[in-house]
Structure 1
């Protein structure tokens, strides 16, 4: 008879030949094509998932794959990155060294950055050999590993990386989430494992027993229901004194109970302590929970290993199968389990484990009023909040439930819960908890702290008026501690930035800043500077906004994107570019999506439409990844305008639809004004000038502060719409607005030039249009200059000054075309013909939809670098862009060229004639 601890690799595959062939084909496909793949092995516990996964890994190794294989653990399912760490750190040649992984862990406060660094490491390994990354028991993957695994397969789809997950059937489980996220761009295979046939079970029994299977054993095996693990455990129990030929166990507990009862009582008790700790546990931890010195339990350990229930890997003890652990665990009375879990939590912390390691036991064992458990949950939440804010919010919600309503601690825990929920994007839940706590009539000091904590909540919910009302009310009743009072004052100023009286808002912000500086409260200081920056932007005072945001990013580098954009509003693209490069070197501390937003503004301003479109597409993807929609409406608005400039009306309409959909999620005044303006642009493109004028009037009427932010560089477009709609009053109002903006920004060439252009259009004044072109020669924005030259050229043409008109229109055409604004350039051809410039020589060839010619200039650069063997990171370094942007370009390249791997891409690039590669 085969010992229960012996390998069942071969016999465990009885009846799985078809499934193994399916997985073998996927291995061969990844190795042959050089592109990625994903497989999910699913089935009930004990059905053979682990055995099939192990055999597939063995075959992949034989095929030359570099393998990382790990196993998620039920009682570690909340420890950040624990599941993925098991995959990349284990094996003969780990995908990452312990030191490299530790370096990643130190910077895991940015989930997107962490995923990108993991992708770079795996991509680098895949350059020399195909890679297989397998995760068993995926149903227990921790939240951060789940987040990474939802991004990585799609991110690495162009590299030979095979992802293999094994897990229980759960339509809403982690494994299904990961497969769904990768399904659009990656070959995926789902392998469901059904119960084995009777013939396969009998073959398995013969393998195990080393002898023919008689009628008595066949009858016993019927109780396994085709589950190979249960069948083997039943066979292993045949030698037990408890076993009987007349007994057909219906569950695993009955199947192994005979074996457990044959153990010494001390061994059984030791196993029960281990089962409480988890499938993997430390000998010292189990001994401590048992209440015995380790030396007294060596014989118990030896018997547990000898019986085939435990394995000893030298560092930890492991139940040979989780079903065995569960069979031991369920025999511990529920009340005892609860008490043991609570004791286990305390002992783990006392032994030096991190709070998060004790949290699973706290969640199972803590009772209301357990303030030590509350303290552990709070510490754990604080530790994981930067990495997995959703988990931190869950932990704090549980901590709040454990605090007695009569204890003052409830308000302190409630404040932390509000902050965690808000940072996790669960603002409505945070507001509900805050209001429930306020209804308990706490002291005035507590009220002020709770209202201050709710400030970010209300701001995220776009409830600026409610934020102002609450801040003013809390300040009016008094009793606030200095820090809370300073934060409330800063929040009030921030709320006032959305109102019409910006002078009052500025005064409130300055007062709040002085208070924050006086008491040295960092949070109040950040809030005050942020509010003052917003107020300055809404007032069109770009230099003041830059001063505020520069001071803010000095205190907290996370606000560097705001400083960069403020530099761009001042036409200082050189400084903005330097800061973008600086941010690339310190990406681990930045808000990745907002940095891409700043990059997109930089590229758009410099007329790099292809790069800008990729940047804003990446912003949306990254915000989707972390489920924090900040710039999605504005990104779609800009991408729609870019598509119109290029002449892609279908894409422009798709972006408009998407912008409207996202507006429903975040319907604040700024987003509303942005979408209304885009609707005006589309109405003009459709020839409906009356509708365009109506939409512009809505922007002017409903989005007062957006006069400065939205129409900063687009006011000339709005004026043309007004003139075409025969609304000269609106045109003059817009021109006056541009003039006021220039007065507030006299050192910014774009502002002064656009003001002259706007007034020239409104008054049909040729001299002003000539002056605007002269002023804008100092502007770094080619699309702004091109529009001014076009306006001047058309005015000159109307005045009969054809030679001068031809020169201006030729300049405009060239700048539009160079930026990729081919539709804008094409609209000038009739005027060029009218001026005698011969626009036939300037026809811009329309880019095809598929093939090498369909690629943008940036996409061609990326394609060439990747074909030369560069990784996304090294290509990004060469192009001085973000790896995320390279990934966006590469996705488009693969789609347009209809290739699936870097090998195919390299072959295609090599086949392109040298003359056509640029």
Structure 2
């Protein structure tokens, strides 16, 4: 920590030898092992965190690290990614150029995408040298930087990246959140800084005043309480007092006041204006707040620098320590502070700064009725909504508080607040905000706009009956602008997609689409196409669903995942893969939903390991952004995958997780999905009565669920019904499969499963043979294997053992290749009955540790990483998401008991040598 004069180069390190040694050990460990680590230096203000961080960064640089060192700022803690930008853009070899960073932030506006691109840049640098990313005062990091800090250390744990943060002692602050996210995933060390010993404080005195420090001074330093910054300031004040003959009272604020008291009034005013602007501020902005031309304040600036209060880095002025700024700031009367902050916001706007730069001052200085402040908050919320919707929601909530309820502006601001709250996943808050505004009886146009804004909220909350009721009410009362009327009509059609009369829903959707196109309203257009796509899916009309979703993704690329899944429903996995690859290269604004589509792609092609990894990754990303959409359905499918593998314990665990999520979102679709899973598990455990009861519950949850849930699982349900001698249920399910095939005559999976269902229900061997023949054109191996197994059992019962053995052998091989070991084992038992032991191959479960424990995808990725590929380049080669590569790689590291890419490369090379 530098002082106002004298040799204080080591003062901040006095008494910190043990902590510095701990950081030195961590630096050496990351360099030696090639794996990541995180450390938090924690302590009260002035305790020496910044100086220790700077010394550690210097030592890391001397050890060959690429170092990025930055500092978060109290009054700039809102600008998205501003805190991490300081670490990434500064230093001798910045991780990203300023232009590259600006392009990144300008062209792609989603949190997950941004973090992944940052990870790629850091990973690429770490491929040649170890990297240190050090951020001071993380408690003031902006929301997007905090989000990134909770993701990046874990994402980069297999690379030599050391994260070093400093933060104040806060039990549940941002620093603790970052550490908690890393704990258990990589070494995470907290280094607490306590008060310095009396001996260390004495050394500080010697550094400043020389060896002849009398007892009076040492007694005075006891008032610092072991805080090095307070001690240094007292010592600097003593030295100033020695020159002027003025006494100095113990304590920082008093000490600083003593130093300020010797300054010219113009210098003191200049410092106060700077303190309002923040620890780091521009000279012209401070001059503007002073109401003077900058040229007249040069003398004041020079005096402030000479006094050791400010540093001048050439671009900005910086208070030498946060505590100095705070000491100056608290001497400004509170009412004056508020007015100055509001004035600061005005000057920043006039100087061309972005609205988000003015927000900290508006939050401190705006008063109710300040419409200019409301306008700036609204513009800032628009700017940050794509990357930090939570911040946008906070800004709009504050804007709404500034508008008196009786003013028309209240409804305009409220509409925007509802949208932001909904985007942030704060649906209940959005609904209560909307209802509170509606209670003021707004004009008809405002009433319609608020109800339209609440449409997305109600859809997210699965309150489709309430959505339909509100949309119909708003349409009935009239007074809406044409575009708002079109949106309300589209929301009504979307709500009808969950009802029984899908013919009426389709008619409503098509009328709405025509109106939206005629009016030219993009939002209504998107809503209408999405509703029509949902209606087609719920009616089992897959070709029409594809047509709607293709048109939708052309209007809004965010809906590409829906188009991809629609292709899969038509058995067109080539188009699905093409679009997945294109989306991976371009970057999707809905990364979690894209992973859902990718998981469905792998599941359909029988790649259970890859599908499982995609579902795991998708769940993690949804948890990261706190917007759960497919969490429950993912757990249902993962449970079914576990049963196919023979892992009943995991299947039960996934059911438990699905039930927990059902409590949160108990809509008919989620309820039916969980009930069907319960049926599958009950059948696996031998409780046929319970299984049949659960399947009946699924059938009662609405006709649309029949097409969505049992599209490829209806054969399992029929087998349960037949085992329980419930012929009526079996026939109902077979009729359902037949109806689905009639709706999709060009889809081999649909027509093949319909034939399989009839063959099972009627014990019709010829129909089962037809099913197998039809399914030869299906790209879904698990569906083909199930049909072959059914045929083999029927042939076996008919005494045609040779043909049965052929069918069962094919089923066994297909199940085993997909990793469906339990299903393969069941077929193997039937093969024994077919007397085909000589043609059988044992179904071997993978071990849990070692190279043989890795899945095929994990082995591919391990080899690619060992060859030097990054997550991105490996993902491009394998046509998967980098997020999925990370999931596979994490699993491989765990199974191989390695912690870094270097160790992995050594292991892979050793295997090749063998």
Distance in 2 of aligned mates of 1:208 and 1:664 = 65
Unaligned runs of 5+ in 2: none
Encode CA deviations 1:258-290: one digit per residue, 9 max, x unaligned.
000100000000000000000010001100111
Encode CA deviations 1:655-684: one digit per residue, 9 max, x unaligned.
222111222222221111111111111111
Aligned ranges for residues 734-813 of structure 1 at < 5 Å? 734-813=733-812
Distance in 1 of aligned mates of 2:384 and 2:741 = 47
Aligned ranges for residues 406-485 of structure 1 at < 5 Å? 406-485=406-485
More displaced 10-residue stretch of structure 1: 57-66 or 487-496 = 57-66
More displaced 10-residue stretch of structure 1: 671-680 or 66-75 = 671-680
More displaced 10-residue stretch of structure 1: 899-908 or 369-378 = 899-908
- Residue 880 of structure 2 aligns to a residue whose secondary structure is coil
Aligned ranges for residues 577-588 of structure 1 at < 5 Å? 577-587=577-587
More displaced 10-residue stretch of structure 1: 164-173 or 833-842 = 833-842
Distance in 1 of aligned mates of 2:149 and 2:665 = 28
Corresponding position of 1:629? 628
Distance in 2 of aligned mates of 1:867 and 1:363 = 51
Corresponding position of 1:686? 685
Aligned ranges for residues 816-895 of structure 1 at < 5 Å? 816-838=815-837, 841-895=840-894
Aligned ranges for residues 16-31 of structure 1 at < 5 Å? 16-31=16-31
Distance in 2 of aligned mates of 1:830 and 1:159 = 47
Distance in 2 of aligned mates of 1:189 and 1:84 = 20
Encode CA deviations 1:327-373: one digit per residue, 9 max, x unaligned.
11111111111000000001001001000000000000000000000
Distance in 2 of aligned mates of 1:228 and 1:100 = 40
Encode CA deviations 1:223-260: one digit per residue, 9 max, x unaligned.
1111000000011111445998976424x211210000
**Structure 1 residue 530: Cα displacement:** 0.5
**8 Å contact 1:355–1:377 — kept in the other structure?**
yes
**8 Å contact 1:230–1:255 — kept in the other structure?**
no
Distance in 2 of aligned mates of 1:822 and 1:415 = 54
Distance in 1 of aligned mates of 2:7 and 2:115 = 36
Corresponding position of 2:159? 159
Aligned ranges for residues 287-436 of structure 1 at < 5 Å? 287-436=287-436
Distance in 2 of aligned mates of 1:370 and 1:689 = 68
Corresponding position of 1:136? 136
**8 Å contact 1:832–1:839 — kept in the other structure?**
no
Distance in 1 of aligned mates of 2:428 and 2:212 = 65
Corresponding position of 2:600? 601
Structure 2 vs 1, CA of residues 896 and 353 (structure 1 numbering), >3 Å: closer, same or farther? same
Corresponding position of 1:648? 647
- Residue 300 of structure 1 aligns to a residue whose secondary structure is helix
**8 Å contact 2:237–2:248 — kept in the other structure?**
no
Distance in 1 of aligned mates of 2:344 and 2:538 = 56
**Structure 1 residue 847: Cα displacement:** 0.5
**Structure 1 residue 511: Cα displacement:** 1.5
Distance in 2 of aligned mates of 1:362 and 1:6 = 40
Encode CA deviations 1:618-677: one digit per residue, 9 max, x unaligned.
110110111110011111111111111112222222222211122222222111111111
- Residue 702 of structure 1 aligns to a residue whose secondary structure is coil
RMSD after superposition: 1.4
For normalisation by structure 2, the TM-score amounts to 0.98
Structure 2 vs 1, CA of residues 638 and 3 (structure 1 numbering), >3 Å: closer, same or farther? closer
Encode CA deviations 1:93-138: one digit per residue, 9 max, x unaligned.
1111112211211134111111111001001111111110000011
Distance in 2 of aligned mates of 1:748 and 1:892 = 36
**8 Å contact 1:766–1:795 — kept in the other structure?**
yes
**Structure 1 residue 552: Cα displacement:** 0.3
**Structure 1 residue 6: Cα displacement:** 5.9
Aligned ranges for residues 86-101 of structure 1 at < 5 Å? 86-101=86-101
Structure 2 vs 1, CA of residues 556 and 334 (structure 1 numbering), >3 Å: closer, same or farther? same
- Residue 440 of structure 1 aligns to a residue whose secondary structure is coil
**8 Å contact 2:3–2:232 — kept in the other structure?**
no
- Residue 213 of structure 1 aligns to a residue whose secondary structure is coil
Structure 2 vs 1, CA of residues 235 and 449 (structure 1 numbering), >3 Å: closer, same or farther? same
Structure 2 vs 1, CA of residues 757 and 9 (structure 1 numbering), >3 Å: closer, same or farther? farther
Aligned ranges for residues 263-278 of structure 1 at < 5 Å? 263-278=263-278
More displaced 10-residue stretch of structure 1: 378-387 or 24-33 = 24-33
Corresponding position of 2:695? 696
**8 Å contact 2:238–2:248 — kept in the other structure?**
no
- Residue 353 of structure 1 aligns to a residue whose secondary structure is coil
Corresponding position of 2:80? 80
Aligned length: 913
Distance in 1 of aligned mates of 2:597 and 2:901 = 30
Corresponding position of 1:898? 897
Structure 2 vs 1, CA of residues 212 and 725 (structure 1 numbering), >3 Å: closer, same or farther? farther
Corresponding position of 2:572? 572
Encode CA deviations 1:508-556: one digit per residue, 9 max, x unaligned.
1111111111111110111011111101101101011111101100100
Structure 2 vs 1, CA of residues 2 and 181 (structure 1 numbering), >3 Å: closer, same or farther? closer
Distance in 1 of aligned mates of 2:231 and 2:697 = 73
Structure 2 vs 1, CA of residues 841 and 756 (structure 1 numbering), >3 Å: closer, same or farther? closer
Corresponding position of 2:224? 224
Structure 2 vs 1, CA of residues 282 and 245 (structure 1 numbering), >3 Å: closer, same or farther? closer
**Structure 1 residue 386: Cα displacement:** 0.4
Encode CA deviations 1:417-448: one digit per residue, 9 max, x unaligned.
00000001011111111011111011111111
**8 Å contact 1:219–1:248 — kept in the other structure?**
no
**8 Å contact 2:43–2:194 — kept in the other structure?**
yes
Structure 2 vs 1, CA of residues 204 and 728 (structure 1 numbering), >3 Å: closer, same or farther? same
Encode CA deviations 1:751-783: one digit per residue, 9 max, x unaligned.
011001011111111111011111111111111
